[in-house]
Amino acid sequence: MTMKKFFGTDGIRGKVGAGKMTPELALKLGWAAGRVLSRTGTQKVIIGKDTRISGYLFESAMEAGLSAAGLNVMLMGPMPTPAVAYLTRTFRAEAGVVISASHNPYYDNGIKFFSTDGSKLDDEVELEIERELEKPLICVESHLLGKVSRIDDAPGRYIEYCKGNFPAEHTLRGLKIVVDCAHGATYHIAPNVFRELGADVIAIGDKPDGLNINHEVGATSMAKICETVISEKADLGIALDGDGDRIMMVNRHGKVIDGDEILYILACDAQSRGVLCGGVVGTLMSNLGLHLALQALDIPFARSNVGDRYVMTLLKEKGWRIGGENSGHILNLDHGTTGDGIVAGILVLAAMCRQNATLEELTANITMLPQVLVNVRFEGEHNPLTSVEVLEAQKLVESQLGERGRVLLRKSGTEPLIRVMVEGDVEADVIKHANYIADAVRNLV
């Protein structure tokens, strides 16, 4: 596969006004994508965004580019990424566009696409778009320009879709749930979904101002929701990220339940109902504890590269339905075509209702090994992971961990970071080993 110049593992992402994320590129990208995606049929594209302030800028630029290519545009305003995937399917649109940098700070933004079936674009389609980007922008004739409209009922449509994933014979009545929306795209969606299913909802991170998305709230910053669950004596907490495609949970004691444990809950529930298809796909970052817990239940487990698109690829190859990442991207192909934090939360709550069990009880038989992730920022084209110093540090740590531990070093696909992950039996040793390798990387940077 030819290397892509613009698209990463999750679309195009970067700091606003620098590098790839400029108004000029967004305009040209809209036009190039319109040229590639245009075909006989509806010839319309849906655009959704999260709550960061630069969303207005990139929405307008993409809208202009798509119109210049002759495609009609339907604007959704702030909506979760999985909502764009869902409504792209239901409106039979040529594609869906999400303007979001997911869990990144407000000063970053990104653009990613969904195909007409609600799945992420294939690599070859992204390469076609990049080839069009190299050509001069030529606007279609005036009478062929695309028109722009708004989907005013998009939030209501998606709320009903989410609720439809919860079994009709059950209710959340009697449960107190803290919902953290990360000041992001789910702020007007998630609290309403869980309230309408009967729960007593305490919403936090639900007041976006364009600058506070993911700031000390949400799935990547769990301290606030843990404190709130305990202080409010809630039954559990649900934390989403800025664009709503990942989830972390908190039990009533304030303990974080990550993506690996959520996968375990969903797999156990599916197995108990006789609907588990094959096994579970995790990633290279998935905790060894997940593998061991599934093994005890004779549930097959496989690892993909890091990134939900690679989880999806392996799921399709194996014909399995459940997969995800410990960071909270959860895929259940019986309930959607992409990671959906709200729907994943609903499926966990459904398992609780069916088994009349608490979140603690559903995770009682999975023991997570201590795992430490250290991020080291780097700039430039040099790859620290190929240096002799870093390789020697990794080799030394692996020899000390033996068979009851793992080391994984990788470049982030969405940020200029080297991720150093170490896993083992003793937490103090794991922390020491992770920092030792991270220091070797920092010395090069």
Residue 50, marked binder: no
Instruction: State how far the Cα of 8 lies from the Cα of 176, in Å rounded to an integer.
Output: 39
Q: Where are the alpha helices (DSSP H) in 335-387?
A: 341-355, 359-362
d(CA 206, CA 8): 29
- Are 123 and 4 contacting, i.e. CB atoms less than 8 angstroms apart? yes
Q: What residues does 120 pair with on adjacent strands? A: 114
> Up-side HSE of residue 239: CA atoms within 13 Å toward CB?
30
Alpha-carbon distance 343 to 349, whole Å? 10
Q: Using an 8 Å Cβ cutoff, are 281 and 311 in contact?
A: yes
CA–CA separation, 45 and 74 (whole Å): 6
Structure tokens at 115: 């195909």
Q: How many residues does the chain have?
A: 445
CA distance 146 to 314: 37
**Binding residue per annotation — 180?**
no
Contacts (Cβ under 8 Å, ≥6 apart) of 152: none
**235 assigned binding-site residue:** no
Q: Is 122 known as a binding-site position? A: no
CA angle 193, 196, 197 (to 5 degrees): 85
- Beta partners for residue 47, in sequence order: 75, 97
Catalytic pick from 102, 115, 221, 327? Answer: 102
Catalytic status, residue 102: yes
Report residue 124: phi and psi, to 5°.
-65, -35
Active site residues: 102
Binding-site members are: 102, 241, 243, 245
Binding positions for Mg(2+) are 102, 241, 243, 245
